[in-house]
Structure 1
Amino acid sequence: MHGVLAYCRAGFESECAQELGGHDRALACGGFARTRAGSAFVEFILADADTANRFDAAVRWRDLVFARQRLQLAARIDGLPERDRLGVLMPAIRAVGGPWCDAWIEAPDNDAARELAALCRSLNHALIAALKRERLIESTSSRRLHVCLVDARTAFVGSTRIDDAAPWPGGIPRLRFPSSAPSRSTLKLEEAFLTLLDAGERERWLRPGLHAVDLGAAPGGWTWQLVRRGLHVTAVDNGPMDAALLAGGLVTHLREDGFRYRPTQPVEWMVCDMVEQPRKVAQRMAEWLVGGWCRQAIFNLKLPMKKRHEEVMLCRRLVEQAVAASGRRLDWRARQLYHDREEITVFARCIAT
């Protein structure tokens, strides 16, 4: 088998397939998608190994919006026996090559596959032991082996380049909700920092003492993430903020409309989780970036029920065109995070040409 296996949010298989198809058309690879509603994964089939390698090299995981993880496919195995699954998997795994720095057995994030968690764990331990016996685990390897159990009898075998892949099984960072945070939306911004920024960017751009604006801040879930990193935050919202967050001394609450507020001085960050039409949010974000009111922005786009992929592309073009008209180019990184729902999260900044 040659192609890509992409994990996504259940219900967004069509959008993930559209995205992969767009890259395929740009590369003239001639691939096609196989999807099933609610499966939380997409198979994208390519003609041969050379085409698959070309697609894998050109389509970076970090450039995909709807794919939590992207594997280069090597095999699909049907009819796994109940008592010796590993014995059937190993010939296909050996055929992939290796060595690998690690091996993960995982399942898609759907209701049926969640019941496979215990099986994945037990098989993973056995697989690692088998790979070590055959000297197929090597810490310096640049690739990771993946086995995706679709159900107890069906598996895909694939691999990823660790420099361009999610560093978490299933592409899902397991974050714990902090008890002192005002709302669960705080996890979206934490995941955005982990997923959309690299370690060096987090160190440079999230230093104590920097200033940020949170548009639509109440009750303060996103503000909480900035404050815990020592940033001074102007929280803009007509609604009430969490009292404990305000008592810390790093938050200034302004009861104003987030779509009209403008800072008196440029800030390092603007973050925004306002519930509004995605195009309206995109236009407002473009104003902040082009006007130099912030250096970086993270914002959510609440997607419509239909034509969601098209809406994402339209919003990106709106911001790109505004930035290009100012003589700069746009650094745009977007992902449908695990903690997102009918939305995507975007990091954006302007770069000099």
Structure 2
Amino acid sequence: MTVLQFLRHNFLLISTLLAVVLGIVAGMVCRTLKPSSDTIQLVQFPGDLFLRMLKMLMLPLTVASIITGLGNMKGSSAGRIGVLSMVCYTSTSVAATLVGLTLVLTIKPGAYSDSSTTDVLHNNAMASTMDIFMDLLRNILPDNIVAATIQHSRTEMVVHGIKLQDDGNSSSGNLQETGGDSRKVNQSVTAKKTVMVDGANIIGVLTYCIVFGVTLSQLGRRGAVVTQFFTAVNIVTFKMIRLVMWYSPIGILFLVMGQILSTTDMTETGQTLAIYIATELAGLAIHSLVVLPGLFFILTRKNPYAIYLKRTLLAQALY
């Protein structure tokens, strides 16, 4: 492989890495100019557009690709693949959750920040940890598929305050008296509540699309029009993603630059970010090199690392 071939095949990757480096350098240089908040917002604007384009295409890509793949299958293979897909996605999601919780409880990345909000955020996360698997099951079966495209369920700890006034009238409608005399009492009651928060419910959308695709494959010729529609949507979405990816170096450049300009304390932020990155990389390494190969070995009784090696050699041969 010549240098020109390498540059041609990896031009987008190289330009993205250069954009990150240029964004860091430009951000550090521009910090000395002390730009205003309006200027920082203008610098971040191209990066915000890039993120919005990615979010815009995520849902059509997920829906069209799954329905197209399952809808084009014949016989009972679609149902079998659909069930396996759900089992695989759910099991890997649970495994990833366990790995993430273990690393967070072990490393505690938020404990290295001096921010006054760290303890509050940490306590809220710990309060919802016991309910995370129940939330996973709730999100698998969303009660509103339209709302699932923008929201997901989450259990939160809600604190209800009860304040009793001196005149015997409680602001919460309750009254506590001792010896016939009313007195001022402050009391807090903690309760769990399932709420809808911003963020697409991907696993719920996947569940709906898998069932939809399996049912569509069973319709045969009657469902051919719908299958062709989602096939066209899938092709168009992939072409749109290619266009967005060519814009990605510009978006990443201004996104990194804007984040550096908007950071108040670079030292504290750098230390905290380094711990978070280390935790994230450790989780990805454990999940991709231990958990997924372990599941593959349990299901197939084959060496997963041999498959990794074959895929690597195949990718090199294609280039």
TM-score range, shorter chain: under 0.3
Larger radius of gyration: 2
Higher helix share: 2
TM value normalised by structure 1: 0.19
Higher strand share: 1
